[in-house]
Chain A
Amino acid sequence: MMKISMDRLSPGETGKVVRINATGDLRQRLLAMGILPGVEIELVRIAPLGDPLDFKLRDFHLSMRKNEARNIIVERFNHHGRRGRRKRRHWQW
């Protein structure tokens, strides 16, 4: 299983949280939002200017900058695509 930081997911891809590296206030906020080990998070889309990102978890949408998402380590889910999705190039800005 491949572990990556959450900002490296491709749009439409889902990951399962394994670790949160953030500390302090950010950690508190992430935990309160329900970002905990075991939770599935989908990267829905990237904002037009390349940042922030729109994630979906526990049936709601949360936007986060790459800088914050970098602190969350996820396990790639169905990396080869359950809907036969071709692997998309990850946009870099």
Chain B
Amino acid sequence: MGGEAGEKEGIGNGRKTCRVAIVGNPNCGKTTLFNELTGARQKVGNWPGVTIEKKTGFLSVNNRIKAEIIDLPGIYSLSAYSLDERIARDYLLKEKPDAIINIVDASNLERNLFLTTQLLELQIPMIISLNLVDAAGKKNLKIDVDILSSHLRIPVVPTVALKGQGIDKITEMTGKVLQGEWHKKMARVRFGTDGEKHISEVEKLLHKAAERMNLPLRWLAVKLFEGDREYELLLESKELLNRINEYRKKTEKMVGEDTETIIADYRYGFISGLVKEAVTVTADIRITLSEKIDAVITSRILGIPFFALVIFLMFKISIDFSQPGIEYIDSLFTLLLNWINVRLFTIGAPGWISYIVVNGVIGGTGTVITFVVPIALVFLCLSFLEDIGYLSRGAFVMDRLMHWMGLPGKAFIPLILGFGCNVPGILATRVMENEKDRLITILINPFISCGARLPVYIMIAGAVFARNVGTVVFSLYAAGILTAIAVGLIFRRTILKGPSTPFVMELPPYRLPTLKGILLHTWGNVWSFVKRAGTLIVAIILLLVVLGYLPVGVTPNSKDSVLGKVGLAISPVFKPQGFANWKASVALFTGLFAKEAVVGTMGALYGVESRNPDSSGGRGRIKNGTLKAKIARDFTPLSAYSFLLFILLYSPCVATMGAISKEAGLKWAVFSVLFNTAVAYIISMGVFQIGTLIKALL
């Protein structure tokens, strides 16, 4: 999505386009509203902090104003506790949007308004989207919008973002606010007689500093009065700081509390007064449906079995259900291949053209399409769990285990996302507050077996282990998890020592997800995967087909081809692991570009040689079985397992390297490549050697 607007359109004050930021607590519907306003496609989730990246889109407010809408990360306050909060706070204070749409969850008014009281101090024109009024209605809460609006002195618009209700009104009021119609005097919280007296003294001291730092005076004064470390460091004059601290201490003595508590207390006091006036509870509900569900799902007895069941079902659905799909697509492509082959032959196309078109282009595309099925199913499951709100329960149930690894429960989500793809998994670590926790979670993520590795397992395990494919695949996933845990523990105790961060996480109510939301979410993921990985895979397969064809005249993909020679040169290295065959080595090499490329490579090296019209024109009809048989010939079950373990653990693929480099720096990406390959080398060697020994003893 475009960042800077190229538009010249202005609204009088010399700006090109107005910028409007969407601000609110996690899970209040920011992304849903953003989508409604801009029509942009974006992830819609139900896990605190899912919106990490800055998303922008355009809204035509009226015929004079065009607004760039920014979907900021969900935050509880304008402190700088997490990276999310820092991103949002810096955006609001440094880039100063022209207006704020503050989304407030009507079913959880008190806590949501805390942020609102802080936003009011920023002196940025603002409207409130009172969202989830349907959920508030279910809790028997009736909210008087006019009272809220007149007390806060800003427009308040009731919305149900999910159903698009109130969106037009939001657009209209945004326009009004941008044109300066409401800006005059927003409400502000007063911090008691003693507090106000001293804060106004602090304000007097800060006039110049606020101007220099380009911050709203009131905001800066309150923050320094609270003793905010970040602003204290920004303040240049030591003497000024000392004088402010004197006022602070004076107040603390008079009130008998620290100023941080005093300030928060007055904010919540203001909110309580407001809520008392504006909200009527029409009937008392002691326990909500969401709580009844949690009483079962997160209970002491059923919590873990349920979690295990969820994960098990996820695998059942994404692996077993995708098998028929994969086979169907596979057979369709075989038919297509044969048909094209015959066509090309009858029109008299040169041999090398048919070879490259059939094997490279069509074969490569077929490979990509084959594994769209399992990946889509994995993402479908994840989106569902995320949207319905189970992922944060997963973090709740699993936190103890994570804690034992020295990681917060929040690390659970990036790790579980890693099962889909390590790239979003690594990006999702941004919600973690502590840098070391974050780094560990990033570095162990590639050991979590991503969806792209699944087709590799299915292909090789399917060829070698006739009956127990499911068990083998399950054990590989388990091996990945165990390695991640072990490596995490080692890092925590060696190169990344440090205390773990406090764990304070909201458990948002369950929300019925919409089919549209889930499908959009899944579609976005699958599409970006196809786009990013698909083109790469086709390109790699094409490259391989060409390398396998050269030099002209050799039997394609034989040991004499360029490809064969490269594989032969590398393969001896893998003797201790039991797969010192050149085809496997070539596959490992191409697997670096994308793990799923192993499938394409193995397919090209094993299957295709007999589809080759040059060498065996008569044997046109190749069935899946032939490919499997050929792979099975080169591996024993033990060496196949060792090979699969190596594929699971060795260097992350190029896309993952990119993500690590982006989130942790190039240094750590390089580290990851070397370290993980070493781990893979040692573990598969261990398994193969021990396995051989046991076999010899039996």
Interface presence of B264 (CB below 8 A): yes
Beta-carbon contacts of A3-35 to B below 8 Å, as 1s and 0s? 000000000000000001010011111111110
Q: Judging by beta carbons under 8 Å apart, are A68 and B502 in contact?
A: yes
Q: Judging by beta carbons under 8 Å apart, are B396 and A60 in contact?
A: no
Beta-carbon contacts of A39-54 to B below 8 Å, as 1s and 0s? 0000011111111101
Given the complex of chains A and B, what is the CA–CA distance between A59 and B110 in angstroms? 9
Q: Judging by beta carbons under 8 Å apart, are B114 and A34 in contact?
A: yes
- Chain B contacts for A49, CB-based, 8 A: 304, 397, 399-401
Q: Judging by beta carbons under 8 Å apart, are B300 and A48 in contact?
A: yes
Q: Judging by beta carbons under 8 Å apart, are B114 and A32 in contact?
A: yes
Give the residue of B77, B111, B268, B295 whose beta carbon is less than 8 angstroms from that of A28: B77
Given the complex of chains A and B, what is the CA–CA distance between A49 and B399 in angstroms? 8
Q: Judging by beta carbons under 8 Å apart, are A52 and B260 in contact?
A: no
- Chain B contacts for A52, CB-based, 8 A: 396, 399-400, 409, 503, 505
- Nearest-neighbor residue (CB-CB) of A30 within chain B: B504
Q: Judging by beta carbons under 8 Å apart, are A28 and B260 in contact?
A: yes
Given the complex of chains A and B, what is the CA–CA distance between A74 and B165 in angstroms? 42
Give the residue of A60, A63, A64, A65 whose beta carbon is less than 8 angstroms from that of B111: A60
Contacts of B309-365 to chain A: CB distance below 8 A: none
Contacts of A60-74 to chain B: CB distance below 8 A: 60-65, 67-68
Interface presence of B179 (CB below 8 A): no
The smallest beta-carbon distance between B302 and chain A, in angstroms, is 8
- Chain B contacts for A50, CB-based, 8 A: 400
Given the complex of chains A and B, what is the CA–CA distance between A29 and B403 in angstroms? 20
Q: Judging by beta carbons under 8 Å apart, are A48 and B304 in contact?
A: yes
The smallest beta-carbon distance between B272 and chain A, in angstroms, is 9
Give the residue of A25, A36, A60 whose beta carbon is less than 8 angstroms from that of B506: A60
Interface presence of A81 (CB below 8 A): no
The smallest beta-carbon distance between B63 and chain A, in angstroms, is 41
- Chain B contacts for A59, CB-based, 8 A: 108, 110
| CB within 8 Å for A45 and B79 given contacts A31-B261, A33-B111, A58-B111 | no
| CB within 8 Å for A31 and B260 given contacts A45-B299, A54-B298, A60-B111 | yes
- Nearest-neighbor residue (CB-CB) of A93 within chain B: B400
Given the complex of chains A and B, what is the CA–CA distance between A48 and B394 in angstroms? 11
- Chain A contacts for B400, CB-based, 8 A: 47, 49-52
- Chain A contacts for B396, CB-based, 8 A: 47, 52, 54, 63
**Listed residue (A29, A33, A45, A47) with the most chain B CB atoms within 10 angstroms of its CB:** A47
Q: Judging by beta carbons under 8 Å apart, are B110 and A58 in contact?
A: yes
- Chain B contacts for A37, CB-based, 8 A: 257, 261, 265
- Chain B contacts for A61, CB-based, 8 A: 291, 294, 506-509
Give 13 pairs: A residue, B residue, CB < 8 Å, sorted on A: A20-B261, A28-B77, A47-B298, A48-B300, A48-B397, A50-B400, A51-B400, A52-B409, A63-B503, A63-B505, A65-B399, A65-B503, A68-B503
